[in-house]
Structure 1
Amino acid sequence: MRIGELSARTGASRRSLRYYEEQGLLVSSRSPSGQRHYEDEHVQRVRLIQAFLAAGMPSSIIAEMAPCMSEPTEDRARQALKIMGRERARLSEAIDGLAAARAALDHLIEDNHAYLARSTDDGP
């Protein structure tokens, strides 16, 4: 199938599919005229890439797991689990940092409300 059909079957834009190839996440064959050609198994591969991206994984990390996606083995599955665990820890740390930033902002908002309440009470 050509890139347009893969795009239609997966919902990924043609630009995204080209990006996946640039990042080493997807490999197509080329016709003599240079057109990309994909096989049916590429549909599942693109959906898996999209799932990893939706889970917050950057393409560089997904590329680390590409061998497991192409030819899964127990060792590769263990490696993928290790990578996913590392990414989960990274996301948890980011979430904790955002929660702390939100709490600090909430405190500043409360201080501002208190200031406004005092200035209104002390009015002319």
Structure 2
Amino acid sequence: MNEDTQQRTAPRVVLVTGAGTGIGQATARAFAAGSSRAANGYRVYDGSTAVRVRNIRALPAAGFTLEDVRPFLACLDGDVLAVPPSARALRIARERLAVLEHRIAIQTEARDRLAAALAAAGGS
């Protein structure tokens, strides 16, 4: 089988992007390898791109920004948790955790103030 035949028979997928998917079309194009167009005009990516995009979706769900994701690109095509994290990745994760903990503290204080105000007003 020559290289051209392999490319034509490789698994291809259409990535679902947009509202409710956790990733927009521009993000998918930015982080995904090359694509082609299906007859209906949708972009079609190879199978490994689906794994990459699934991993990219998981990182923001864990509190990372898309800019934070860039240092992880080398390991996003496989099992992210099977690869030992780099010092840079750990630093980014620790920084992101600190940001999340700060946000949680602020929201907790706001909730406590609101609960106290409701209690003082006779509501529960």
Aligned match for 1:18, one of 25, 28, 48:
25
Preserved contact between residue 71 and residue 88 of structure 2 (Cα < 8 Å): no
For each residue in 1:38-73, what CA deviation from the matched residue of structure 2 results, as whole angstroms up to 9, or x when unmatched? 11111211211111121121111112211233599x
1:102 aligns with 2:108: yes
Over 3 Å counting, the alpha-carbon distance change for 1:68 and 1:105 in structure 2 is closer
Residue ranges of structure 1 left out of the alignment (5+ in a row)? 118-124
Aligned match for 2:70, one of 26, 44, 63:
63
Over 3 Å counting, the alpha-carbon distance change for 1:41 and 1:108 in structure 2 is closer
1:6 aligns with 2:11: no
Q: CA deviation at 1:97?
A: 4.0
Over 3 Å counting, the alpha-carbon distance change for 1:38 and 1:107 in structure 2 is closer
Percent identity, aligned pairs only, is 20
Name the residue aligned to 1:120: none
Q: How many residues align?
A: 103
Preserved contact between residue 28 and residue 38 of structure 1 (Cα < 8 Å): yes
For each residue in 1:7-59, what CA deviation from the matched residue of structure 2 results, as whole angstroms up to 9, or x when unmatched? 3xxxx32684622245x32122346x997441111121121111112112111
Separation in 2, partners of 1:50, 1:64? 15
- After TM superposition, list the pairs within 5 Å mapping 1:27-106 onto structure 2: 27-30=33-36, 36-70=43-77, 77-79=84-86, 82-103=88-109, 105-106=111-112
Separation in 1, partners of 2:106, 2:42? 50
TM-score of the two chains, using structure 1 as the length reference = 0.54
Q: For the aligned residues, what is the CA RMSD?
A: 3.7
Structure 2 counterpart SS, 1:38: strand
Residue ranges of structure 2 left out of the alignment (5+ in a row)? 1-11
Q: CA deviation at 1:95?
A: 2.3
Q: CA deviation at 1:112?
A: 6.1
Larger Rg: 1
